[in-house]
Structure formats: structure tokens, C-alpha cells
Chain A
Amino acid sequence: MTTTATPAVLAFVEDKWQEAFSNLNHHQPGISGLMTLSKAWKIAADFLRPRPLSQPRPKYNPVEVKMAFDVLGQTRLLYTVLENFLDDMHQQEYLIKHEVEEYMSKYEETDDPRIIAQLVNRLVEWFNAWHPLAEYDSSSVPDLWLADSQDDAPKSLGHVVTDHFTVAFHTHIYSILPPSFSRGFKVLVASTLPISDDMSDNVKLDQSAWESFFALGLVERYESLIASVCYEHIEGYIRKTCEGKWSEKMLTGMREWMTKKMVPWMCLPYARGAKNSEEAGKMMSGVGSRFDYHVCKVLCDLRTSEIFDMIVDFPDSKPALEDLKECLHRVDQRSNLVSTLRKANKKRLLHPGADTKDILTQYVSIIKCLRVVDPPGVLLYKVADPIRRYLRDRPDTIRCIVADLVGDGENGTSLVDDNDPLVPLVSRDVEDYTDVTWEPEPLDAGPDFRANKPGDIVSTLVSIYESKDLFVKELQVLLAQRLLNVTDGNYEKERRNIEILKVRFGEAALQVCEVMLRDMTDSRRIDQHVQSQKPSLLHPIIISRHFWPTLQTGTFTLPSRLRAVQEEYAREYTAFKPDKKLVWLSHMGTVKIEVELQDRTLEVDVPPVSAAIVELFSERDRWSVDELIAQMGRIDRPSVSKGLLVLVDLGILKEEETDNYRLLEIAEEPSSEPGAVPASRSAISMDELPGAQTAQQQQAEQVRMYWKFIEGMLTNLGLLPLDRIQTMLKFAPGYDRSIEQLGMYMEAARREGLVVAKDGMWRLNR
């Protein structure tokens, strides 16, 4: 590019040149000013030049150096000097690089964090050696870097120089430190952490070490790394200390540990330069709350992962649960807790392998535990839902609960705490507006959340089912069984149970049970009367059919002798109560028989079926099962087998070959394992007597009846739509199903090929 400069421009350039020159020349005559300047430059550059550590900076006359810098300052060349210095440093950087590589390769071989510590110290030495202000602390020595500013007093460039140098130096070492350094640095930092009270074999990092870190900018650069070291350390410590330790509160201890051990350590990186503890506290507050949060979170996570076992251990784990509650308050991990517990329940509890009783026990524990963790019960509601649904599908849930209510637990541990106050069951569909302690529902409560009154486990269990009628029904069945199994005439326990349950279920619901109890005592009274009229061998229990659950009916022909006794008794009874008639349930109860054999006489209590069999065996010695059944009338095979087994156990009969039995007139030597006999005998203990039908059996019975009705209406009326069937079923007593249930039922019947559906009309598959 060529342009022809106008004379004016030329004159301007000339003018500027003169001005610059005279400036450099310091307004001295000739070039003497320039000479001074060049000398000053040389001194300054030489003074600043970065050298290997092995060659220490030569001694300079401070006055000379100061003068040189002053000259440069006056000519406004200090920036240029700085740039020159940085250039020089750049050229000397290889010196550091060599050393870093040396240390790092050594570290990579040994993995010893102490090498990293040495490297850091070495780097600090380099840093100090090269520092342009190294020996000239502004307080003791006149400031070198005084720049001449046009209008004011000369201005110090000290901090600018330090910044430039620091940035350049840091940039450099970061560029040459290999990735393995950060790993080493982390180990180094970690190794200084207080692990326990005993810190003797740790590398000691004191304030000065941290000062070095600060000097090299490592703290800023590796801030997240240092933080993660802390986090990991806290996590490791908490896990180690708290895992499986549920019997005491750990959170306070952890916080103390933080204050005692971690905070002093953390003061070094996070509260640098704090003059007193107050200031340090201020600087630490942000970090501190972050770490406190972390403590809570770790403990919370730990306890969440252990929650299932903690619940199993309840109440020993109560302190841990209180910890969890406090942590949850600080850390919002509630949904996490819910999902973890739900998952654990699904995996460990709600499967066919678990006993209903165990599920219930755990459920009760869950209730109690989550009440500790979350008193309003939102968590409980969310966790309990799948359990309740599962329990509802289990056939023996009600039975278990009821058995427990009446204290029938096999191992004596009751689901329900005896200390629980007896509270009547109240359905609380409406809010109690007079409740002064009312609180709004928690934020994360679901739409159909309904707060439960705390403490009442029984009502929670009963509410698994929609109505308590089912319970009362099952209760009746259970009571029937228990009453029939009482042999000593002592019904006090049952009476007490009923009284307790009355408080819960209400007087009216248990009226039937009352009647049942009264039947038992009445029976005794009536029996006394009948016996006084005409002594009889028979002591029947007379029950009011309408108030008792359906008892299994089994009619078999009693031996004629027994039948005669029955009939005689019935006559006496009718004489006593003319308006009533006895219907015998011959298969229930026990018969005391005396068996006279050739070598021995046995006196035993046996079920009536066995007695009947013995009677038959008195006619001849050998019977097959089929022959027995033929003789005994309407009886099913299992009952006969059971009756036979009792006798075999008593050593009266012996099974010669399959289904053929022989009377043992002469006792045979007990079989080689004598222990086996009592064991098998106890297997057929008296409480296996045919009992009352369970509610489930009753329900099956009902469904069978509905089917009869459906069959009847379809036979006679032909095609019917579903809604018609539904309305017609009202003829069936006690029909209470919804049309949806009916639809499902019909669908099931269709699959079995019983009915055919076409255009929404149902007919029988004929």
C-alpha cells in the first residue's frame, strides 16, 4: 500500500517522534538520557530474570535497582519491563517442567502422596524465587514499581505485577501438571483428614502447607475436588460408624464429630486468613451448612437403605428412626424413602413365601415405625397401600387378625400392644370440626389421604377391609371353633375376649357371640336338668343354629348303641323344652370308650367316627375302608381315614395293607422308633375336630347358590341381558354383588363353557 503523505501528516509524525525521543531521553542533552535508560533496563531485566533454583539471584545493590526502576518508571516503560520479564519466564519454564515430570513419574511409581507434598513445596520455592516482588516487601523497602503518572503522584503497580506473574505462573504449572496430579492431590488431601482420634500416621498438613496450596492456586483450582474429598470422607465415616447401629441416636454424635474433627480441618481451606474464631465462623457458615446437609443426607440415605431391617428390629431401632426423622426434616428424601420401602416390601414381604402372620406383624411394625418418622402419617399411607391391597387378597388375613385379637397367637406375641388403649372403632369419614389440635394435611399427602388417629393399630388393621362385618363373621367362626374345643367347661377366657372386643366393635356387632357363649352355659344347665331326670352317658352341647356359623354337616350312621342313647336324650330334652327339637351333629365332640382286648383294656377319648369304627370292629376283626364306608352311611372317605388313624395311633388297629385294617387283639411291640407315635398322635389332636366353616367357605357356598339361581333363570327365561340377571338375582337371599362383579362372574362362567354370550345376551351352553 503506497500513499503519499501530505506535508501536514509528515509534520505531525515528526513532532510525535521528537516528543517520544525526548521522553525516552529523559529530556537530557544528546543521547545521555537514552544511555541511562538502557543501563536501567539492563539492571531491571537482569534483576527480574527467572533463574534455576540452583543459581540463586545475585546480590544487587538495592539503591541501584531502585534507581533503575525509577528511571524506567519515569519513562513509562514498566509495563514493557513486565512483559519482558514474562517472556523471560516463559523461556525458563522448561526448568520447572523437568522437575514436575520427575516428581510425577516418581509418584506414579510409588503412589505415595508425600511425593506430591514435596512437589508442591518445590513449586512454591520456584514461585517465590521468581516472584518479581520477592525480596521487596512494600513495607520495608521502597516500592520498585512506581509508575509515573502524568498528573498525580507516582502510582504503584505492585499488585498488577503480582497478578500478572501469578496468573502466568499458575497457567504454566497447570499446563504441565499431568492428570495424575489431581488424583495424587486428592489422596494427599484425603490423607490429612481426621479419621479417628489417632492421627499419628497421617501426613500432617499444617497451615503452611495450605498456604502453599493457596500460593499455587491449587485450592481454587481443585475446589470441587477438595469438597468431594470432604464429602467422601464424611460419607465413609458415617457409613462406617452408623451402619447397622440402630440402638442409639447417631446424628448428634455425627454433628459433634463434624465440629470437633472436621471443622478445624475445614478451617484451613475454607476460612483462610480468619483472624479469630468469630470471623472463621462467619466464613464457614455457608460451607458448614452445606456439609451439615451432607451429613444429614448421607445418614438419611443410609437409614433409608436399611429401613426394612430397622422396621424388623423395631422397637430396638427407635433411636435410628428418630435420626431419620430429623434427617428427613433437613433433607427432602421422603419420596425416596417411600419408594425404597415399597420396593423392599414387595421384594421381601409381599410374596407367597411369607406367612400372613409375618406380613401382619411387619405391617404393624411399619405402622409404628413410620409414626415415629412421620407423625402425620403421609409416608405410612403411601407405604401401607400396597400392603393393604395385598393383605386384602390373602384368604387368611382376617382369620389372622381375628385370631390375634382374641389372643390366639401361636407364639404368644401379639400384634396388638396390650398397652394400647382400647378404643372403639369409629369410622371417621367426616372431619371433626371441633378438634382444636387440627392441622392441615401435609404437602405431599395424596388426594385420598386420610389421617389416622395415631396409636390405634387395631382399627388400622380392621380398616384393611371395607366393613367390619367380615371381621365379626370371622370372629364368630373362630369363637365357634374355640368354644367347641373347650373341654373343661371353662369359658372365662372366651368371655373376657368377647368383652374386650365389645369395646372395639360395639355391643351390637357382638351380640351373636354373646348368644354363642350363652349357649355353652345353657347347655350345661340343660344337661344337668336332663341328667337329673334320667342319667345319660351323653353330655351334648346345644347350640342355637341361627346364631352359629354354619357347622360342617356330616351324617353317618352311629352305632346303634350310641344312637339309642341319643334318641333317649332327645326325648328327655323335648320333654323339658317342648317347642324345641334336637338335631344331632354326630360327627362332632368326643366319645370316651373303653376297649377290652385280649391282653389289655384301653380307656380313651376318641372322635365319634373312631368310636363308630371301634363298634364295627367288635363285630369282626378285619375291615377294608370301603366296607366301613358302606356300613357307616353318608360319610366321606377322609373322615373315615382320620377316624382310623386315631385308632391306629392308639395301637388298637393296624393297617395290614393299603386300606385294610386289622384289630390288634394282642398288642404288638411298638415300632422301632417309639418317638414317632406320639408325634403322629399329636398331629390328630382334638382341635382338628371338624369345626365351623370359615367365612371363605361360606362365601364359596354363596357363590354356588347364585349360580343355581342364574342357571334357573336362564333355563326358564332363555336369553337374558346382564342387567336383567342382576335384577333377577335379588330373588337370591343375601345377594349383594355389583353388576360389575356379576359381569366378571359371568365372564368366568363363559370361560368354563357354562354359558354363552351373544349380543349382550346370556344363555346356558346346552
Chain B
Amino acid sequence: MEQITTSLAPPRSSQKVGVPGSTSDASGSVTKRLSSELMQLMMSSSPGISAFPKSDANLFEWVGTIEGPTGTVYSGLTFKISINFPPNYPYVAPTIKFDSQCYHPNVDLNSGAICLDILQDKWSAVYSVQTILLSLQSLLGEPNNASPLNPEAAGLWKSPSEFKAKLMSTYSPASA
């Protein structure tokens, strides 16, 4: 519940920021972009990744689902993420964090924050929700242990059985 309320606030307030008059125009084009991304994502049918707006009233807040890639310790697990698009998307990267607890070297276990270059300094307007989701999915199997958000997990990565045990102890199956 807390998540919903906190995540509801930013896009709305930030939407009001900006030059009046151009707002509707700008948000119109963003909406258009998000709609077409949604369409693209829906029709692409990439296995194991999916996302959808949280409610029909707000296209700036999505819920995503990522299935752990097969052949990794995350195989068979499903993680929920939340995606918040800024009003000046796609010039600014969306804010993405894990809603399910995810034991991963590049994910903060408690806040769900993610350390991924394309979500920060490497962001480009040509990326889309689909590319983000695909990147996240591959990140699960191939963490960047050089810049860990979860040093413990980074340390354990070399010993898969222990890592798996730790992962499972924090994992709770995603549900509605």
C-alpha cells in the first residue's frame, strides 16, 4: 500500500512542473510514446518479460514481471518490478526498482534499487521498456560484481549453492 501511494505521487506532481501550455502537448507525446511502447511490448511476446500500466488512469506507472533466465540460479523465480516514467521520458530514464525482494549483487535487497548503467548515465532515448526489461533479465544471470549494491551477494556469487540458499531465504513468490 505504501508503495502505491508513494509511487503515485511523483509523476503527478512532476507533471505539473514545467511551462504551462506546453505541458499537455509534451505529456501528449509522452503518452503516445508510452502507448506505442506498450503495444510493441505486448506484440513482441519476448519470453519471461512483461509489463503493464498499473491503472488505466495513469500511463506513467507500470508494473513489470521478470522471470529468471533458465540456466541461472534465478531460473523458475519471478520478480515484480515497478516502473515510473518521468514526464520528460524518453529523454530521462524511467525509475525502476524491484518490488519483490531480490537477492542480487546489483540490487539493494531492501529498497529494491537497481544498479544498471543504462538506467543511469548510459540511458538513451532509443531504449524502451522492452530493452530495459531484457537488460534486467540478463542482469539476473550476469551480475556486474564490480559495482555491487549488495556486497554480500557479490561475495557469494562465486559459490552458487550458498548463493542459492541465501536467495531462496529472501525470495517470496510474486503474487498479486
B56 touches A731 (CB 8 A): yes
Q: A728-B53, A728-B56 are in contact. Are A716 and B41 (CB under 8 A)?
A: no
Residues in chain B near residue A727, CB distance under 8 A: 56
Least distance between B99 CB and chain A CB atoms (Å): 11
Q: Is A236 engaged at the interface, CB distance under 8 Å to the other chain?
A: no
Least distance between A423 CB and chain B CB atoms (Å): 41
B65 touches A708 (CB 8 A): no
Q: A708-B45, A715-B65, A716-B63 are in contact. Are A731 and B51 (CB under 8 A)?
A: no
A716 touches B39 (CB 8 A): no
Interface residues on A, range: 10 to 19
A730 CA to B35 CA, complexed, in Å: 10
Residues in chain B near residue A713, CB distance under 8 A: 52
Q: Is B3 engaged at the interface, CB distance under 8 Å to the other chain?
A: no
A130 CA to B174 CA, complexed, in Å: 117
B64 touches A716 (CB 8 A): yes
Q: Is A294 engaged at the interface, CB distance under 8 Å to the other chain?
A: no
Q: Is B164 engaged at the interface, CB distance under 8 Å to the other chain?
A: no
A708 touches B43 (CB 8 A): yes
Which residue of B45, B52, B59, B62 has the most chain A CB atoms within 10 A of its CB atom? Answer: B52
Q: How many residues of B contact A (CB 8 A)?
A: 22
Residue of B nearest to A713 (CB): B52
Residues in chain A near residue B80, CB distance under 8 A: 716
Residue of B nearest to A761 (CB): B176
Q: Is A630 engaged at the interface, CB distance under 8 Å to the other chain?
A: no
Q: A717-B176, A731-B35, A763-B176 are in contact. Are A712 and B56 (CB under 8 A)?
A: no
A733 touches B39 (CB 8 A): yes
Q: Is B54 engaged at the interface, CB distance under 8 Å to the other chain?
A: yes
Q: Is B13 engaged at the interface, CB distance under 8 Å to the other chain?
A: no
Report A691-727 CB contacts with B as 1/0, cut-off 8 Å: 0000000000000010011011101111100001001
Residue of B nearest to A708 (CB): B42
Residue of B nearest to A766 (CB): B78
Q: Is A13 engaged at the interface, CB distance under 8 Å to the other chain?
A: no
Least distance between B167 CB and chain A CB atoms (Å): 21
Residue of B nearest to A728 (CB): B56
Residues in chain A near residue B65, CB distance under 8 A: 715-716
Q: Is B6 engaged at the interface, CB distance under 8 Å to the other chain?
A: no
A712 touches B41 (CB 8 A): yes
Q: Is A732 engaged at the interface, CB distance under 8 Å to the other chain?
A: yes
A705 CA to B50 CA, complexed, in Å: 15
Least distance between A88 CB and chain B CB atoms (Å): 110
Residues in chain A near residue B64, CB distance under 8 A: 716
A716 CA to B176 CA, complexed, in Å: 8
Residues in chain A near residue B43, CB distance under 8 A: 705, 708
- Pick from A708, A717, A731, A732: contact of B63, CB under 8 Å: A717
A715 touches B56 (CB 8 A): no
Interface positions, chain A 64-79, Cβ under 8 Å from B, are none
Residues in chain B near residue A730, CB distance under 8 A: 56
Q: Is B175 engaged at the interface, CB distance under 8 Å to the other chain?
A: yes
Q: Is B38 engaged at the interface, CB distance under 8 Å to the other chain?
A: yes
Residues in chain B near residue A705, CB distance under 8 A: 42-43
Q: A712-B50, A717-B63 are in contact. Are A732 and B39 (CB under 8 A)?
A: yes
* Beyond known contacts A716-B50, A716-B65, A731-B38: 10 more, CB 8 A cutoff: A709-B42, A712-B41, A715-B50, A716-B62, A716-B64, A717-B52, A717-B54, A728-B53, A731-B35, A731-B39
